[in-house]
């Protein structure tokens, strides 16, 4: 149980990045550094050991310290699904696992079949703007068909993408925002009503479009994660309370999933996100029974 303005409530985190050693080794190669530890020195972050179980253990301790019952761990680069599979296998009662796929890679479909055959991971993560494709490209129909057959959550990042780790390392982020509009997901969501799609960060700057999509496609969910800095893009004086109120008024609270966007150590689990979001919900006048689904129950039901 976590401390909230209503007292202790259960919390399940729908959005945590699993920055494995392979993740840091990939950054080191892009930065032309010889070791992952060199990246850690530049970032002033802790670099995990090769064994993903040690990193999973550290995250489990963070959940214990903050009263979080379960969390989704996201492999944060393509072809790193094995890291999260090891973490989930170590603590299956605490973690769900998602993996990132770049569908343009020649091996993508075979890797996808392998993940589903092993059965450990529950979510497929797609980042169209990062990898440069339209989510509605008909070439990807077999991917969605396979996801539908395996009852897999499909997480689709839309809107603005700001990767602080790359900026801090001075690495370019050549993302193509033409592929960031959540409305691109509309025909896919209608074609695959059995898939539950999740859009993080309330659409990260495409809030209006995201609400339109959710209104038209009842199989689309929103996660509330991150600082929601995108609110600064809005033309009106929108704040986090307004974001929650508009989302709840239009689609209800059953399709909102609390997320922290936690990612690295030594910061660990980002408790300030829970504090900010529960403060906003409390100031809206919601009671504990109305908030509990957002903080916990919706994610558990989605992944049950």
The per-residue pLDDT for range 49-95, each reduced to its tens digit, is: 888 999 999 999 999 999 999 999 999 999 999 999 999 999 999 99
Q: Is the dihedral of CA 129, 131, 137, 138 positive or negative?
A: negative
Per-residue 3-state assignment (H helix, E strand, C coil) for 33-57 = CCCHHHHHHHHCCCCCCCCHHHHHH
Q: Is the dihedral of CA 109, 177, 200, 89 positive or negative?
A: positive
Q: What is the pLDDT of residue 197?
A: 98
The per-residue pLDDT for range 85-107, each reduced to its tens digit, is: 999 999 999 999 999 999 999 99
Q: What is the pLDDT of residue 234?
A: 79
Task: State the chain's mean pLDDT as an integer.
Answer: 95
pTM for the model stands at: 0.95
Contact 242, 208 (CB under 8 A): no
- The residue segments making up the domain with residue 226 are 2-303
Per-residue pLDDT band at 177 (split at 50, 70, 90)? very high
Q: What is the pLDDT of residue 304?
A: 83
Over range 186-207, report the average pLDDT. 96
Residue with tokens 């379960």: 70
- Quote the percentage of the chain above a pLDDT of 90: 90
pLDDT over 80 (residue 235): no
**Residue 23 belongs to domain with CATH number:** 3.20.20.140
Residues 40-74 as b or e (16 or more Cβ within 10 Å = b): beebebbbbeeebeebbeebbebbeebbbbbbbbb
**Domain count across the chain:** 1
pLDDT over 80 (residue 228): no
Per-residue pLDDT band at 303 (split at 50, 70, 90)? very high
Over range 262-271, report the average pLDDT. 97
Q: What is the pLDDT of residue 207?
A: 94
């Amino acid at each position: 149980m976590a401390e909230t303005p209503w007292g202790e409530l259960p919390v399940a985190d729908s959005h945590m990045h699993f920055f494995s050693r392979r993740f840091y080794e990939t950054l080191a190669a892009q930065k032309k550094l010889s070791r992952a530890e060199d990246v850690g020195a530049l970032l002033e972050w802790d670099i995990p050991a090769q064994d993903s179980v040690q990193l999973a253990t550290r995250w489990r301790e963070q959940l214990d310290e903050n009263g979080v019952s379960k969390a989704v761990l996201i492999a944060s680069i393509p072809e790193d699904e094995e890291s999260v599979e090891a973490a989930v296998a170590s603590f299956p009662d605490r973690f769900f696992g998602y993996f990132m796929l770049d569908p343009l890679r020649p091996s993508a479909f075979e890797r996808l079949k392998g993940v589903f055959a092993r059965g450990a991971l529950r979510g497929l993560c797609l980042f169209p703007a990062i990898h440069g494709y339209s989510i509605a490209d008909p070439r990807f129909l077999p991917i969605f068909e396979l996801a539908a057959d395996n009852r897999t959550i499909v997480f689709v990042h839309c809107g603005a993408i700001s990767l602080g780790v790359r900026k801090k390392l001075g690495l370019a982020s050549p993302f193509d925002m033409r592929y960031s509009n959540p409305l691109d997901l509309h025909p896919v969501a209608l074609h695959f009503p059995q898939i539950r799609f999740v859009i993080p960060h309330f659409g990260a700057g495409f809030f209006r479009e995201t609400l339109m999509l959710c209104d038209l496609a009842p199989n689309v969910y929103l996660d509330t994660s991150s600082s929601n800095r995108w609110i600064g893009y809005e033309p009106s004086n929108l704040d986090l309370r307004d974001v929650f109120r508009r989302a709840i008024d239009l689609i209800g609270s059953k399709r909102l999933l609390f997320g922290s966007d936690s990612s690295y150590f030594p910061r660990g689990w980002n408790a300030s996100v829970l504090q900010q979001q529960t403060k906003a919900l409390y100031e809206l006048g919601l009671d504990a029974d109305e908030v509990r689904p957002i903080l916990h129950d919706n994610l558990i039901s989605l992944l049950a």
